[in-house]
A and B are shown apart, each in its own frame.
Chain A
Amino acid sequence: MMPGFWVLVRRDLQLAVREGGAIGTALGFYLIVVALMPLGLGPDLSLLSRIAAGVLWIALLLAALLSLPRIFEADYEDGALEVMATADLPLELVAAAKSLAHWISTGIPLALMAPALGILLNLDIGSTPALIGTMVAGTPAISFLGAIGAALTLKARRGGLLLALLVLPLYVPTLIFGITAINAVALGSDGFWQSFAMLVALSMGATVLGPVAAAAAVRPQLQ
């Protein structure tokens, strides 16, 4: 059963590379939103470094949100999703494969870009490993929970805003623990590992629940 899974992950990654627009848009959006912050708040370095973790995480959520509809939309529109539903691979694993491909093609590039943007916000350079680590650990939750929203808004024309309303509340735990973990290192408080463990737990939970819920949301829409 698993070969079909990796075949699908590979195809979605191939499509993401070939249709490069989505990754570029997400990265560009991330850069712009973070770059606007110091311009809006003024050059107060201690203020910027205090809010850096929060700004980096919220901007990352918004940037990832832009590309979420792509998880199912294209395959729904050209009929590929229907064919996948008749495949031996259960729809849950189809959703998991597509979420995984979304994480690899969007979550990881955004996480890797975060340290460069951290410099704009006067984030302590020594916290770079912690920053990348927490973002890589936390972003799977964004893709896998986001798949639920993408599946629910599949048939909604211009469903982007609705999608944001549906999934952003689900990201609150990830956001909280992501920010505390980075601040623990950057601002020298303790509790990094506790927050980091919670982030990993949230991502693992999302990896299990997201595809099941997304498949349940897709199924009635194939009627």
Chain B
Amino acid sequence: MADTLILARGGRTVVDRLSFTVDAGHALVLSGANGAGKTTLIRALAGFLLPVEGQIVLEGGSADRTPAEQCHFVGHQNGMKSSLTVEENLLFWADFLRAPGAGPGVEPPKRVADALTRFDLEPLSDIPAGYLSAGQKRRLGLARLLVAERPVWLLDEPTVSLDTRSAGLLAALVNAHTAAGGIVVAATHLDLGLDRADELRLGPREVAA
């Protein structure tokens, strides 16, 4: 998936000559100390940051969409509007992220209802997102993963402010996604207990190589 990647942020090389592959149906857990370049790497995969050198390739993906357009990105923020209700937020993302020319498939309202149930957000669906607790907001942010189908999930610290039960829920979803042939790249400090997961340690060693 990535080939001799050199990433720099603010003129400083953060990730130096890193190569790795994630096979379909596998999860890659990025670990490493604070500042090791986990977020930088994820943001590069999401296409926000152009590599100084090297390239990111998604094999077997759709040819007329960039790798970034086939990724779900869940960053430090959730991207939800506090004055819209939980359901309205998800409906917007479902409509907005729906691939053009995608077949009829599952209709957005149905997908949203499904995502709400999966994340235990159903009782909260009419509440403006601004009133949710941090953990509930996080769950709402993660529910976005389910409202539009994309093969690659990029998760940056997905478990922040989640309780153990919700973290278990997330692990189950990630496992289901990889079982269906999807790819997950997650930066996390917590052991999520994922099946089919490889670990990539980022740190000073890569810089020395």
Which residues on A are within 8 Å of B, measured CB to CB? 1, 3-4, 7-8, 11, 14-15, 18-19, 74-75, 77-89, 222-223
Bound complex: CA A23 to CA B81 (Å): 18
Residue B177 CB within 8 A of the other chain: no
Task: Contact check, B96 vs A79: say whether CB atoms are below 8 A apart.
Answer: no
Task: Contact check, A84 vs B96: say whether CB atoms are below 8 A apart.
Answer: yes
Bound complex: CA A50 to CA B98 (Å): 54
Give the chain B neighbours of A19 by CB distance below 8 A: 83
Residue B69 CB within 8 A of the other chain: yes
Residue B5 CB within 8 A of the other chain: no
Residue B55 CB within 8 A of the other chain: no
Partner of A88, one of B46, B47, B99: B99
Task: Contact check, B83 vs A82: say whether CB atoms are below 8 A apart.
Answer: no
Residue B32 CB within 8 A of the other chain: no
Nearest chain A CB to B160 CB, angstrom units:
13
Nearest chain B CB to A2 CB, angstrom units:
8
Task: Contact check, B71 vs A86: say whether CB atoms are below 8 A apart.
Answer: yes
Residue B205 CB within 8 A of the other chain: no
Give the chain B neighbours of A78 by CB distance below 8 A: 77-82
Task: Contact check, B78 vs A15: say whether CB atoms are below 8 A apart.
Answer: no
Bound complex: CA A81 to CA B73 (Å): 11
Interface residues of B in 32-83 (CB under 8 A from A): 43, 46-49, 65, 68-69, 71-73, 75-83
Bound complex: CA A74 to CA B77 (Å): 12
Partner of B46, one of A7, A11, A14, A82: A82
Bound complex: CA A79 to CA B97 (Å): 15
Task: Contact check, B84 vs A86: say whether CB atoms are below 8 A apart.
Answer: no
Say whether, besides A8-B96, A79-B77, A82-B75, A223 and B68 are in contact (CB < 8 Å): no
Task: Contact check, A223 vs B43: say whether CB atoms are below 8 A apart.
Answer: yes
Task: Contact check, A3 vs B78: say whether CB atoms are below 8 A apart.
Answer: no
Residue B95 CB within 8 A of the other chain: yes
Task: Contact check, A88 vs B65: say whether CB atoms are below 8 A apart.
Answer: yes
Bound complex: CA A10 to CA B173 (Å): 31
Give the nearest-CB partner of B43 in chain A: A223
Bound complex: CA A92 to CA B68 (Å): 16
Give the chain B neighbours of A4 by CB distance below 8 A: 95-98, 100
Task: Contact check, B93 vs A83: say whether CB atoms are below 8 A apart.
Answer: yes
User: Looking at chain A's contact residues, is the secondary structure mostly helix, strand, loop, or mixed?
Assistant: helix
Give the nearest-CB partner of A20 in chain B: B83
Give the chain B neighbours of A82 by CB distance below 8 A: 46, 48, 73, 75, 77, 79
Task: Contact check, A11 vs B92: say whether CB atoms are below 8 A apart.
Answer: yes
Bound complex: CA A8 to CA B82 (Å): 16
Say whether, besides A82-B75, A223-B9, A15 and B81 are in contact (CB < 8 Å): yes
Partner of B83, one of A18, A79, A87: A18
Task: Contact check, A7 vs B43: say whether CB atoms are below 8 A apart.
Answer: no
Nearest chain B CB to A210 CB, angstrom units:
21
Contacts A4-B96, A79-B75, A83-B79 known; 10 new A-B pairs at CB < 8 A: A18-B83, A19-B83, A80-B81, A83-B144, A85-B47, A86-B46, A86-B47, A88-B99, A222-B48, A223-B48
Partner of A79, one of B71, B76, B82: B76
Task: Contact check, B69 vs A87: say whether CB atoms are below 8 A apart.
Answer: yes
Closest 9 CB pairs of A and B: A79-B77, A80-B79, A79-B79, A222-B48, A7-B95, A18-B83, A83-B79, A223-B49, A1-B100
Most chain A beta carbons < 10 A, residue from B46, B77, B144: B77
Nearest chain B CB to A7 CB, angstrom units:
4
Bound complex: CA A223 to CA B46 (Å): 10
Task: Contact check, A15 vs B69: say whether CB atoms are below 8 A apart.
Answer: no
Give the nearest-CB partner of B108 in chain A: A7
Bound complex: CA A210 to CA B118 (Å): 41
Bound complex: CA A18 to CA B48 (Å): 31
Task: Contact check, A86 vs B43: say whether CB atoms are below 8 A apart.
Answer: no
